[in-house]
Chain A
Amino acid sequence: MTTEKRTSATAGDARHGAAIDVRDLHKYFGDNEVLKGIDFHVDNGQVVCVIGPSGSGKSTLLRCVNMLETPTKGQIFVEGEEITDPDADVDRLRSRIGMVFQQFNLFPHMTVLRNLTIAQQRVKKRGRPEAVEVARRNLAKVGLADKESAYPAHLSGGQMQRVAIARALSMDPDMMLFDEPTSALDPELVGDVLAVMKDLAAEGMTMMVVTHEMGFAREVGDKLVFMDGGVIVEEGLPSEVLANPQHERTQSFLSKVL
């Protein structure tokens, strides 16, 4: 795992060691340009937090990384493979990128265990015993070993989000994307989910986290990215950006949320 950090985009091939490498990314919804040329990378083992006001394009950026949104222009490399290449095997690349959604998106017609095993069996072609073993290990990791036969409707929001994290982990991903994972939770449930994410970061998981949790960003993040109006306004060490924002837009945003 590399701890090497690079700050500027270089032309040519994907930066070696970068888990996610985004180059000159543009995204339009109709006539509305949501991303206006994003250059950005996440190194292996890094935890990168993306903050910004709503409508700044931070979720769209995250969703472009695993091609849930198709970029209008630009390139994205995942572990050196270009996922934006029209010939890329997007399904295979996605199976290596875990994703956690704001609304959990658990499969409501399946038990918790089945939520964790179905993609292992159907996509990774694991046998059921192996899939169940992996699922149980990950459920234990998020502290929900006793919930494997429950249906999602019977869980609290915090439990659902932890199951969603376990579901993504069961695919043994190289990296995890989090799209405002705690924004839909009751305040007293946020802590459980953040604790699981902290453990994950401590294990060296590569993470890209769109969040409003400044405490998490400061404590766990290796890099903080502030976006506004479809561009990256400022990025750097979380402690520095939060304590001493350089850009006026960053200052005004932070003064409202901190």
Chain B
Amino acid sequence: MASPRQRAARWRLVQYAVLAIVLVAALLLANWGELKRAMFDPDIIREQFPDVITVALKNTLIYTACGFTFGLALGLVLALMRLSSVGPYRWIATGVIELFRGLPALVVFLALSVGVPLAFPDREIPFGNLGTVTLALGLVGGAYMAETIRAGIQAVPKGQMEAARSLGMSHARAMLSVVIPQAFRVILPPLTNELILLTKDSSLVYILGLSYQEYELTKFGREGMNTAANLTPIIVIGLCYLLITVPLSIVVRRLESRAERAR
């Protein structure tokens, strides 16, 4: 009979062995030459630069930042409306949230790009495609963030509002200085998730019909793939997405641990 300690050691050994076998099998069995030709062609990689950064990555960042900023503002307004004592505000907010949370982002993009020009033939959404993408991403993101922000506000203990009011602050001032800053500490992780989701959703902008200077990463990658008849451009833009999202996660983790210390 083996002791529990021996059994645990043996079990750990088995786990390492499985991992090693899988890795070795992948290494030996994969057709590396073919893979390299179809997905990691150095010449094609070189061709992607500098435009993949100066055009595509830049535009993805701009679209996401605009959409997220508008969405955050909209989400905050919707959250406060949901918590309002005025009935119609609550109903409107609930309706907007349910609508844009339930619709696929692609449908929202289509509705805005086709529906708005039909409804208002003499007007245009300002700033062209950037305006449309800001609106569409903002509506989708805002609807999600509204519920997150509302939950965050409700998670702040009631005593915080009472203490602020007892010092003579108005309800609005107490919200702004005391409750909302604490709410945002709580909801930093889910908001980061939303930002990462929006980064990827920004690829739906292709539906608007873009000029080359407006290409974002996914559109750029697809065009590159078609031109080169090779998957390499997709790998390049995939890495570019990670270039955005991984540092973002690291920054937020830092912010979280800092907020934790202040708590």
Q: A: which residues have CB within 8 A of B? A: 66, 68, 91-92, 94-99, 101, 103, 105-109, 118-119, 122-124, 151, 153, 164, 167-168, 171
**Nearest CB in chain B: distance from A78 CB, A:** 13
Query: Is B168 within 8 A of A107, CB to CB?
Result: no
Chain A residue numbers with a CB within 8 Å of B170 are: 91
A98 to B262, CA, bound (A): 26
**Nearest CB in chain B: distance from A33 CB, A:** 22
Query: Is B167 within 8 A of A94, CB to CB?
Result: yes
Query: Is A99 within 8 A of B263, CB to CB?
Result: no
Q: Which of B163, B166, B173 contacts A122 (CB 8 A)?
A: B173
Query: Is B168 within 8 A of A123, CB to CB?
Result: yes
Q: B: which residues have CB within 8 A of A? A: 157, 159-160, 162-170, 173, 177-178, 181-182, 185, 259, 261-263
Extra contacts, 17 of them, besides A94-B167, A103-B159, A122-B177 (Cβ < 8 A), are A68-B162, A68-B165, A99-B163, A105-B159, A107-B160, A107-B164, A107-B178, A107-B182, A108-B262, A108-B263, A109-B181, A109-B262, A109-B263, A122-B169, A123-B169, A123-B173, A124-B168
Chain A residue numbers with a CB within 8 Å of B178 are: 107
Q: Which of B159, B165, B167 contacts A167 (CB 8 A)?
A: B167
Instruction: Across the interface, name the chain B residue whose C-beta is closest to A95.
Output: B168
Q: Which of B160, B169, B263 contacts A105 (CB 8 A)?
A: B160
**Nearest CB in chain A: distance from B100 CB, A:** 30
A153 to B159, CA, bound (A): 16
**Nearest CB in chain B: distance from A45 CB, A:** 21
A114 to B166, CA, bound (A): 16
Chain B residue numbers with a CB within 8 Å of A95 are: 167-168
Q: Which of A92, A118, A119, A151 contacts B263 (CB 8 A)?
A: A151
A-B contact pairs, 11 of them (CB 8 A): A94-B167, A95-B168, A97-B166, A98-B166, A99-B166, A101-B162, A103-B157, A107-B163, A109-B182, A122-B173, A123-B168
Query: Is A151 within 8 A of B262, CB to CB?
Result: yes
Chain B residue numbers with a CB within 8 Å of A168 are: 166-167
Chain A residue numbers with a CB within 8 Å of B261 are: 151
A99 to B168, CA, bound (A): 10
Chain B residue numbers with a CB within 8 Å of A97 are: 166
Chain B residue numbers with a CB within 8 Å of A119 are: 164, 167-169
**Nearest CB in chain B: distance from A89 CB, A:** 10
Chain B residue numbers with a CB within 8 Å of A171 are: 167-168
A119 to B169, CA, bound (A): 7
Q: A109-B182, A122-B177 are in contact. Are A66 and B166 (CB under 8 A)?
A: yes
Q: Which of A91, A101, A109 contacts B169 (CB 8 A)?
A: A91
Query: Is B168 within 8 A of A91, CB to CB?
Result: yes
**Nearest CB in chain B: distance from A162 CB, A:** 15
Instruction: Across the interface, name the chain B residue whose C-beta is closest to A67.
Output: B165
A164 to B163, CA, bound (A): 9
Query: Is A153 within 8 A of B263, CB to CB?
Result: yes
A106 to B166, CA, bound (A): 12
A92 to B167, CA, bound (A): 9
Chain A residue numbers with a CB within 8 Å of B160 are: 105, 107
Instruction: Across the interface, name the chain A residue whose C-beta is closest to B160.
Output: A105
Instruction: Across the interface, name the chain B residue whose C-beta is closest to A164.
Output: B163
Chain A residue numbers with a CB within 8 Å of B166 are: 66, 68, 94, 97-99, 168
Instruction: Across the interface, name the chain B residue whose C-beta is closest to A92.
Output: B168
Query: Is B262 within 8 A of A94, CB to CB?
Result: no
Instruction: Across the interface, name the chain A residue whose C-beta is closest to B262.
Output: A151
Chain B residue numbers with a CB within 8 Å of A167 are: 167
Instruction: Across the interface, name the chain B residue whose C-beta is closest to A89.
Output: B168
Query: Is B185 within 8 A of A109, CB to CB?
Result: yes
**Nearest CB in chain B: distance from A115 CB, A:** 9
Query: Is B181 within 8 A of A105, CB to CB?
Result: no
**Nearest CB in chain B: distance from A61 CB, A:** 15
Chain A residue numbers with a CB within 8 Å of B262 are: 108-109, 151, 153
Query: Is B177 within 8 A of A118, CB to CB?
Result: yes
Instruction: Across the interface, name the chain B residue whose C-beta is closest to A107.
Output: B178
A118 to B169, CA, bound (A): 10
A153 to B177, CA, bound (A): 19
**Nearest CB in chain B: distance from A151 CB, A:** 5
Instruction: Across the interface, name the chain B residue whose C-beta is closest to A68.
Output: B162
A99 to B170, CA, bound (A): 16
A94 to B162, CA, bound (A): 11
A151 to B169, CA, bound (A): 21
A159 to B173, CA, bound (A): 26
